[in-house]
Structure formats: C-alpha cells, structure tokens
Structure 1
Amino acid sequence: MGISSKSESHRQIVLFFTVFALASCLAVEATSSSNRQLVKGRVIPDVLDLFVPTAKLKINYGRTRVVNGLLISPSAAAKAPSFEILARSRRSPVDLYTLIVADPDAPSPDNPIRREILHWLVVNIPRKRPLEGEVLVPYAGPAPPLGIHRYVFSLYKQNKVLKGVKVPEGRALFRTRGFTAANELGLPIAAVYFNSTKEMSS
C-alpha cells in the first residue's frame, strides 16, 4: 500500500470517528432536552428514575396536546385521552407496552402523604392499536383538592405478555417504581406530564 492510500485510509477513519462522535453528542443533547422538563418539574425523581427516552408518547385531550408542564383543567381532562406510541419497530416477538398515569401530589404538593394516586393502568398495548390494550385500572380524571398537581404519563416496553398481573386494591399509595419492578418492565421509554388545579365554582 502506497503513502497516498494510507493517507486516504487515515482520513476515512478520522471522518468516521468524527461523525460517530457528533452523532453521539446530538443523541445526548436530545436526551438531555427531553428529560430536562421532567427534572425541572421533579417528575424525576418524585415518580421516575432518570432514563433515556427511546420513543415518543403523544397524549391528546380532544384538540389539546399534552406537553410537559401544561396546565389543563379537571373538566378538560375528565374523559380518557387518546394516545399514540411512536417507537421504532424492533425485531422482537413482543411489541406490547404498558401505560401508567399517576398523581404524586395527593392530597397536596406540600404534604403528599397519599403519593401516588393511580389514575390509569393499561397493559399489553399493541403499538399500532393502542385502543386494544388491557385496562387493569380504568381512567379517572384529575380531582386535585389543594394546590397544583402533576399527572404523569409513563410508557414502558414489555418483553412479554403480562398475565396474572396483581391489580392494586385502591388508587392511593400506588408506586410506579414498585409496579414496574414487580412486572419486570424496567425504566420508561417515554414520559410526559401536565399540571392541574381545582376549578373555581361558578
């Protein structure tokens, strides 16, 4: 191999590692950006551990798209929202997901002694047909008695069909971390939350 060929090979190697490093930096920045609002809103660590998002979870109450920190009235969120899972199709025999919605601020953000209140629990959700998921705990809309409450949607990729799942006896004192650990769901792949506060009576 001549000097020019060696030089060209060296340039290609340098270019490869430069592109790889740039892509890694962009991925880290994207991850930091998507988690920043969850950390700012203390969803991490109050409900979730730090995780790397690998999917997107779109939640809509009618025409209102849920974004982190958005204030939504209890009446506007009284009915279950529609949702969409945007994730890369992987070579896996199981393409199912679990969705958990919980309020960590009960009865009040200053005194959350009933943390967490479970508002929705759906397992075995097909990615392309989310309405066909198995509802273990039906949706309950926000009903914050005091202060501003957070309503946290967290999504998990299942590695198997969940069968014989122990359903919580009540909604209060639920633990997202405990449920996901018991069912081997690991860390979330996506999460989003909104805020809600008690509506003034007319």
Structure 2
Amino acid sequence: MRDVCPWHPSTILSPTYKYSLTPHPPFSNLHRLTLHQIELAIELPVLACQPAMAAHVDPLVVGRVIGDVVDLFVPTVAMSVRFGTKDLTNSCEIKPSITAAAPAVQIAGRANDLFTLVMTDPDAPSPSEPTMREWLHWLVVNIPGGTDPSQGEEVVPYMSPRPPVGIHRYVLVAYQQKACIAAPAAAAPGAEAARERFSTRAFADRHDLGLPVAAIYFNAQKEPANRRRRY
C-alpha cells in the first residue's frame, strides 16, 4: 500500500484502502452517501493531516502590550518579578492589596551592564477610555545587571496599582542602556505631573535605549472592601 496519510481524501476514496469514516467500503458505497457526508469525509481528514500550528502565542501580543506600550521585540535578558510569594507570569491577575510594596525584581546580565526599569498602566483611568495612558508607576535607571532596582537610581518612586474601574494591565519593561543615564532629581512620591500621560516609547527614544530586552505584565482590578486580603 502507498505510504500515505490514512485520512487523506485520496486514500479514503480509494477502492484499495480497507478503512473508512463510514461503516461501508469507501468507494463502492459512495452512492449511499449524502453530499454533506462526502464533504465531511474529505474536509475533516485533510485538516487532521495538516501539521499542527505553533501552540505558543506571545502573551504580550495577545494582551496588546505590544502596540499599546512597546514595539515588537525579542526578549534577550531574563527578568523575574514577585509580589511577596507570588511570582508573576504574563496576564496573571494580582490583587491590589498585595501590591502595596514594590515588587522584587531581578534582572539578569553582567555586573557592568546597566538597565532601566519602567512600570506603567496603559489603561488609566479606564480601559475603555485610557485618557491618561500611560500612568507611570515606577522608573529606575542605572540598574547593574544581575541585581535589582534597589541598586539603581530611582527617578519616579513606586506607586502601587489602584485601578478605579475595570481590569487594568500593569506593565514592567526592562531596557539595556548603552551608557549611564544622568538621572534627574527624583520626583515626589505623589507628583502626578511626572506620572500621567507618560510614554515608554518616548522615554526610550529620548535616552537611546532601543527596544526592550524583557517585559512582563499582570492584570488587576478594584477589590471590594470586604474581600481585600494579603497573601
């Protein structure tokens, strides 16, 4: 017998093939099949024989982080983010009540590499009307590779997520610097002028940072007062 996919239509309709999607020999009893049955016999097996599509779809694309916050890039540096004992994965949901303190962020790389970390909310104040996109939650520059933001220079202090309505995305992006950035004086913790309508792309362009080397995002929404809890 020919080395051919057993569910290929040319095989199903061959008088020499032993099996069929119907209980009748596939060729001699074609007159008993309806047109719809014949179409299914051809259409479904062909789909089954096609190579499987790639299972992985970039969650940054699905979550529209690519597009709303940064351009398409290839991650080249490992970055881990954790709130307490909760390790972040892309698109996971985090309760705002556990984000009061800045997350533990670890950026890989060599000690003489320098990185910038940006955290923003592209859905402020509302996902349906993000008129303050992006709201800047954290900005740290000159972070040595293999360390965390505490070893860098904090330009804008960490502000915990406070989504007023809807499900907000909170995006952390790391850039590898080409040189040390002359950090301006740190903004006051509540200085809104430094936070609203921030542009991650514009900041990267202004400091010649190029494309990101790592990014991760999580979702959060306002918690009912009686359900807030800490992990």
Q: TM-score, normalised by structure 1?
A: 0.78
Task: Quote how far apart the aligned CAs of 1:166 are.
Answer: 8.1
164 and 69 in structure 1: CA distance in 2 versus 1, 3 angstrom threshold:
closer
Larger relative CO (CA 8 A, sep 6+): 1 or 2?
1
For structure 2, the residue ranges without an aligned partner over 5 or more in a row are: 1-53, 188-192, 227-231
Paired residue type of 2:213: I
Match of 1:41 in 2: 63
| Aligned pairs, number | 167
Could you say if the C-alpha distance between residues 62 and 96 of structure 1 is closer, same or farther in structure 2, counting changes exceeding 3 Å? same
Partner of 1:103: 121
Deviates more, 1:136-145 or 1:122-131: 122-131
CA 1:187/1:165 → structure 2, altered by over 3 Å: closer, same or farther?
farther
Q: Which runs of 5+ in 1 are unaligned?
A: 1-28
Give the structure with higher Rg (CA). 2
Determine the C-alpha separation between the residues in 1 that align with 2:133 and 2:186: 17
CA distance in 2, matches of 1:178, 1:46: 13
Q: Once superposed, what is the RMSD of the aligned Cα atoms?
A: 2.0
1:69–1:141 distance in 2 versus 1, CA, 3 Å:
same
C-alpha distance after superposition, 1:154-176 (max 9, x if no partner): 00000100015487742110000
* Residue in 1 that maps onto 2:180: 161
Identify the match of residue 61 of structure 1 among 62, 74, 83: 83
- Segments of 4+ in structure 1 off by > 6 A? none
| 1:105 to partner: Cα distance | 0.1
- Counterpart mapping for 1:85-104 below 5 A: 85-87=107-109, 89=110, 94-104=112-122
Alignment partners' CA distance in 1, 2:168 and 2:197: 15
Cα distance in 2 for residues equivalent to 1:83 and 1:181: 24
